[in-house]
Amino acid sequence: MAWRFVDMHCHLDRMSNADEVARDAAARGIAIFDTPVTPADTLAAQERLRAHTNVRVGVGLHPWWLADGRCGTADADLTAELAGELAYIGEVGLDFGRRGGNTQELQIAAFESICRAIAKHPLPHRVISIHAIHAATTALDILERTGVAGADAHPGTSVIFHWFSGSSEEFARARRLGCYFSISEHMLKSKRGREYARQLPEGRLLLETDAPPGLDAPYSAEALEASLTGALATIAEIRRVPQDALGHTIATTSAALLHLG
């Protein structure tokens, strides 16, 4: 199937009507990379969304859930165990900003254990969606140190930075390491986000929604489509390229990463 859009970072499983959204998205030509925020959510989403061929479910442990105590070391261990077995990882990462700054050591230990599990158990293809707020350098250090990115990385492993907000030096380093970047309407509201969208090689550019704005409430595929369309239109304008051609390239790249038929 030729997908019109692929939402490369979406919390589909935390929409109360996730099955309805997944079905409606498929009818609209939209595929979704579901990025749970805890390993328990991952296991539940794998079961709940199993029938939707337009959905790929990741293994997630969001740093906010570690920072506020909703998840602990047992959850980090389970996430690492699952990450060593499965092809889709996310949302994982680090947040050294206001919501996570007091738990840096815990976050680093969890993220490093996840990356070590990924590197120890290579798969023919694997996709990782990463959260890094005020922490891109540390995340990149861990990715290189563990062999998930860089010269020692398995050729089938693809690293995506979601809603990247790091410095220009960190952005350049991530690009050198071959990382992808998923861009939302929200990222494009900042001058830095728009400039990164302009600079990215076309083959490393992806779209996301990071929806829904509020967890465990109803949402709609129509809203996903509107957000993806808006982001694409803005990026095409920034890059001064035809929107249809850019959208086709991004969708093709995304579908290949997620092994979508």
**pLDDT, the chain, mean:** 97
> Are 132 and 93 in contact, with CB atoms under 8 Å apart?
yes
**What is residue 172's predicted lDDT score, i.e. its pLDDT?**
98
Confidence (pLDDT) at 117: 98
Per-residue pLDDT, 99: 83
Q: Where residue 136 falls among pLDDT bands split at 50, 70, 90? A: very high
Q: Assess whether pLDDT exceeds 90 at residue 100.
A: no
The whole-angstrom distance between residue 259's C-alpha and the CA centroid of its chain comes to 15
Average pLDDT for residues 204-212, to the nearest whole number? 98
Helix or strand (DSSP H, E) at 107: helix 104-120
Q: Does position 1 have pLDDT exceeding 90, yes or no?
A: no
- Quote the strand ranges of 96-243, DSSP E: 126-133, 157-162, 180-183, 205-207
Domain housing 109: 5-257
pLDDT at 244: 97
Q: For every residue of 193-230, which 3-state class applies, written as one string?
A: HHHHHHHCCHHHEEECCCCCCCCCECCCHHHHHHHHHH
Statement: the pTM of the whole predicted model exceeds 0.95: yes
- Residue 261, pLDDT above cutoff 80: no
Predicted pLDDT of residue 102: 86
| CATH at residue 104 | 3.20.20.140
The DSSP call for residue 250 is H
Q: How many domains does the chain have?
A: 1
Average pLDDT (250-258) is 98
